[in-house]
């Protein structure tokens, strides 16, 4: 938004340096413009729609949706020119973004269509006023700042909405926090699912160490089957977590290292020599039971068929 107001300020500075009367000029010209755009609404809108199609933008939308959206964008656009207030447009742009972001519409497409509309309308102004260059200049002086402000508003609203969606998703990922599960007396399992960033890794360590204390755990099985990737800092963090667990009297077993992760760890040279790793969670649990002195035997089974 700050860009928009700066642009506006520049515009008004220019008019001040030329003539104080220009401000009035703009006030008179804009209604004329709006009337012109209102008059040729259908033609201009169709031209705009065909330009959008040529540019292969918004292909995620059906032609009917396209027609409906282009009509409302057009009307909003003209309304901003008429009233000079971008509030309604802002609201509309946010609403529109909310609808189209889930369908995979990109920022460049949204900015692209608004700029296309700006060009289509500017072209029609050229046609209308081409006989009188002085007047055309003044018309453009009035039109351009307003048009730029509109493009700006739409782009900013779209990006804002996108960021909001991203933030929301990050929050929900964080909420899927890692549970520390007691499976037997003195045995904890910590399944890690999803990408581990440093913030999540820190949170995980904190939870694990606290759980070791509350459950008086002797053995912890950390299962990373569900972690798609591990980078150097996260790997080192895991090593530190294992060491810290040992200081608290619990030994850690790491299970479920995928081939990719194993390769990464060896390539980046993380020192895992002190870590007890076992192929899968089942093996890890068996080893943990052995360490704790459990023997699990299979009886006849009591499950009814």
Partner 1 sequence: MTAGPALVSILRQGSYLIASIHTALDDSQMIRFQEDLIEQIGQHRSLGVIIDVAALDVLDSFGSRTLRNVAEMARLRGALTVIVGIQPDVAFAMVALGMGTGSVHTALDLEEGLTYLDGRMPKRSAAI
The residues binding partner 1 (CB under 8 A) are: 205-206, 209-210, 212-213, 216-218, 240-241, 243-250
Shortest gap between Cβ of 274 and partner 1 (angstroms)? 10
Q: Smallest distance, Å, CB 183 to partner 1?
A: 18
DSSP 277: E
What's the closest the beta carbon of residue 305 comes to partner 1, in angstroms? 44
CA atoms within 13 A on the CB side of 162: 15
Distance linking the first and last C-alpha atoms of the chain: 68
Q: How far is the CB of 218 from partner 1 (least distance, A)?
A: 8
Nearer to partner 1, 146 or 208 (CB): 208
Residue 3, classed as helix, strand or coil, is helix
Nearest residue (CB) to partner 1, 36 versus 200: 200
- Complex with partner 1: residue 91 or 213, whichever CB lies closer: 213
Distance of closest approach, residue 236 Cβ to partner 1, in angstroms = 10
**Cα→Cα distances 67→127, 151, 236, Å:** 25, 20, 55
Please state, in angstroms and rounded to a whole number, the distance separating the CA atoms of residues 226 and 169. Answer: 19
Least distance (Å) between residue 148 CB and partner 1: 51
Query: Cβ closer to partner 1: 119 or 243?
Result: 243
- Would you say 20 or 247 has its CB closer to partner 1? 247
Nearer to partner 1, 183 or 210 (CB): 210
For residues 219 and 254, what is the distance between their CA atoms, to the nearest angstrom?
Answer: 11
Q: How far apart are CA 198 and CA 231, in angstroms?
A: 10
Q: How far is the CB of 256 from partner 1 (least distance, A)?
A: 23
Query: Residue for token digits 């938004």?
Result: 1
Judged by beta carbon, residue 136 or residue 275, the one nearer partner 1 is 275
Distance CA 34, CA 12 (A): 20
Contacts of 58 (CB under 8 A, 6+ apart): 52, 66, 100, 105, 109, 113
Given the DSSP bridges, would you call strands 276-278 and 251-255 parallel, antiparallel or unpaired?
A: parallel
CA distance 222 to 59: 46
């Amino acid at each position: 938004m700050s860009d928009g107001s700066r642009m506006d300020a520049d515009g008004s500075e220019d008019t001040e340096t030329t003539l104080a009367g220009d401000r009035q000029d703009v006030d008179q010209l804009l209604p004329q413009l709006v009337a012109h755009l209102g008059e040729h609404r259908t033609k201009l809108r169709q031209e705009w729609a065909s330009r959008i199609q040529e540019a292969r933008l918004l292909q995620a939308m059906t032609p009917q949706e396209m027609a409906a959206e282009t009509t409302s964008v057009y009307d909003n656009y003209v309304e901003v020119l008429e009233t000079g207030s971008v509030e309604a447009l802002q609201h509309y742009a946010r609403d529109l973004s909310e609808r189209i972001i889930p369908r995979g519409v990109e920022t460049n497409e949204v900015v692209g269509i608004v700029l296309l509309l700006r060009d289509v309308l500017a072209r029609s102004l050229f046609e209308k006023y081409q006989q009188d260059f002085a007047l055309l200049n003044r018309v453009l002086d009035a039109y351009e700042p307003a048009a730029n402000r509109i493009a700006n508003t739409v782009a900013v609203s779209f990006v804002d909405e996108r960021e909001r969606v991203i933030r929301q998703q990050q929050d929900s990922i964080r909420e899927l926090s890692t549970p520390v599960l007691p499976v037997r007396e003195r045995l904890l399992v910590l399944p890690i699912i999803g990408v581990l960033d440093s913030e999540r890794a820190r949170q995980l360590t904190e939870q694990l160490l606290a759980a070791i204390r509350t459950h008086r755990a002797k053995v912890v099985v950390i299962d990373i089957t569900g972690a798609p990737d591990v980078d150097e800092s996260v790997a080192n963090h895991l090593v530190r977590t294992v060491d810290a667990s040992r200081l608290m009297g619990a030994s850690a077993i790491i299970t479920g290292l995928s081939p990719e992760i194993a390769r990464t760890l060896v390539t980046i040279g993380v020192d895992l020599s002190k870590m007890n790793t076992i192929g899968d969670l089942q093996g890890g649990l068996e080893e943990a039971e052995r360490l704790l002195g459990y023997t699990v035997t299979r009886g006849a089974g009591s499950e009814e068929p």
